[in-house]
Amino acid sequence: MTAERLSCDVAVVGAGPAGLAAASAAATAGASVICLDAFGQPGGQYAMQPTQAGSAFAETSAVLSGQDAAQQAAAAGAKILCGAEVFWGAPVPGGFCLSVNRQGSALAVEARAVVVAAGAMERPLPFPGWTLPGVIGAGAAQRMLKTGSGALPMTGSTVLAGSGPFLLAVAQSFARAGQPLDHFVEMQRPSLTGLTGLFMRHPDRVFEAMRLGRDLRGTGATRHFGHIVTRAIGRDRVEAVEIAPLDGSGRPDMSRTTRIERVGTLAVGYGFQPVIDLTTALGAAHDFDAALGGWHCRADDDGATTIPNLWAAGETLGIGGAAPAQLSGRIAGGAAAAALGFPADDTAEPRKRVRRARAFAAGLAALFPMPRHLPLELPDDELICRCEDIRAGDIATAIAEGAHESFAVKTWTRAGMGPCQGRICGAGVAAALARAGIPSETASYNRAHLPLRPVPLPLVRDAMEAQNQMETRA
């Protein structure tokens, strides 16, 4: 089989708020645009579309905004391909070649410019018992509720735990779906002074915050502020959850633990990290900023990365929420088209709004800081890398023997070498390095390798054949 081939001026990776806005802007400027997304429908995380008729989420403003953005992009002439996962990207003469798994078939997209709007993913921090069945990400729980694509177990109580404003959004999804939520465990106790100051500076966000608080109370969940999950307990699946209050130094006070019994699901979320696999594969520079979710792609105000004709938008540039993502997409899409010679858009207004939206996100993030001593100490036999079966003790040994960077830990132990390419274990490895005194900004990040995502081997062969032909073309 040979890969199907498509070509365009601007390829956009990701059809979330940022990607759809980038596709619209570039297409409106006159560029031919292909927008690729791994999900079955456009919308990304914020505007995730329900897959079931009559869903309680069908009429939410987020879902409707996603439909609207997709329609606008299509009306401007952008071709949106869903179920299309980019598993590799490489420079070729005149632009880039993106290798895509399109529902089991290879597709090679040749583009003069690429906008990466790959969004964010959950930051999976390990804790004792985190791999037990029944322990899931808060985002995974929300996805099941929003799309209706899976059911949370109806037996046993449900615990939602972690930290950050996203937990409130997940609690809201429980309320909307009519799914019981029994315990809400938030590590922080955001200060009233801090909250008041933030909302006085951003009064337009007050109602949204009030709705989140109201919906959390509406779930009837027992609320445990200033507490952290210290252990998930069970034989074959999670049965109980141990929580402890944080002491003044930010450590869990293990003399005051409480056990929540008869647990069916523990959904845990400690915020997000930018998805940077494609931008690292394409060789762009990245920077570290804890307030932006850690390592993120470096770009100027237009979204231009350090690689010519490679642009980035949305949460690939750092965690900030849907509003700045959408605005940054509009700016980057327009700038990418303008760099190819299409008419430039006036971006003074979106630039002003993106700065304000990012300031709100930064203020909110500051109210939910990660305590210095977390994540928790792990027993040596706790699994960290699920793909390669690497345990906490293996990683501690490698660090003690001199593996002082994420990449060194990977080559020493194979943690991060499996199909997830470190997306799941990366935060755990970074935490182990930080515990050993090597902060994330020094430990660096793993540069992703072919294939970025799990894909059948024949597709890799077909896509590489297409890429080689583009590379060697006269």
Ligand X SMILES: Cc1cc2nc3c(=O)[nH]c(=O)nc-3n(C[C@H](O)[C@H](O)[C@H](O)COP(=O)(O)OP(=O)(O)OC[C@H]3O[C@@H](n4cnc5c(N)ncnc54)[C@H](O)[C@@H]3O)c2cc1C
Residue 38 or residue 403: which is nearer to ligand X going by CB? 38
Q: Label each residue of 376-434 as H, E or C.
A: CCCCCCCEEECCCCEEHHHHHHHHHCCCCCHHHHHHHHCCCCCCCCCCCCHHHHHHHHH
Least distance CB 100 / ligand X (angstroms): 7
User: CB 142 → ligand X: shortest distance, Å?
Assistant: 6
The CA distance from 412 to 407, in Å, is: 9
In the bound state with ligand X, the residue whose beta carbon lies nearer, of 219 and 413, is 219
- The first and second tokens of residue 289, run together, are 């900023």
Query: Which residue, 122 or 345, is less far from ligand X as judged by CB?
Result: 122
Question: Judged by CB, which is closer to ligand X: 392, or 463?
Answer: 463
Rounded-to-integer distance, Cα 457 and Cα 177, Å? 39
Output the CA angle 67-71-77, nearest 5 degrees: 150
Nearer to ligand X, 120 or 415 (CB): 120
Q: How far is the CB of 137 from ligand X (least distance, A)?
A: 7
Q: Least distance to ligand X from the beta carbon of 167, Å?
A: 10
Strands 4-13 and 33-37: parallel
Query: Cα(377)–Cα(382) distance, rounded to whole angstroms?
Result: 10
Q: Which residues of 290-327 are buried (b: 16+ CB within 10 A; e: fewer)?
A: eebbbbbbbbeebbbbebebbbbbbbbbbbbbbbbbbb
Q: How far is the CB of 302 from ligand X (least distance, A)?
A: 16
DSSP class of residue 56 equals T
State the minimum distance, in angstroms, from the CB of residue 344 to ligand X.
Answer: 22
Question: Degrees (nearest 5) of the Cα angle 398, 403, 406?
Answer: 105
Query: Toward ligand X, which CB reaches closer, 35 or 244?
Result: 35
100: closest CA among 117, 79, 83, 84?
84
Residue 275 vs 385, nearer CB to ligand X: 275
Least distance in angstroms from the C-beta of 141 to ligand X? 10
Cα gap 360→203, rounded to integer Å: 10
Q: How far is the CB of 401 from ligand X (least distance, A)?
A: 34
92/138 with CB nearer ligand X:
138
In angstroms, rounded to a whole number, what is the distance separating the alpha carbons of residues 137 and 434? Answer: 22
The residues binding ligand X (CB under 6 A) are: 13-19, 36-39, 44-46, 85-86, 117-122, 139, 142, 169, 272, 275, 278, 314-315, 321-322, 325, 452
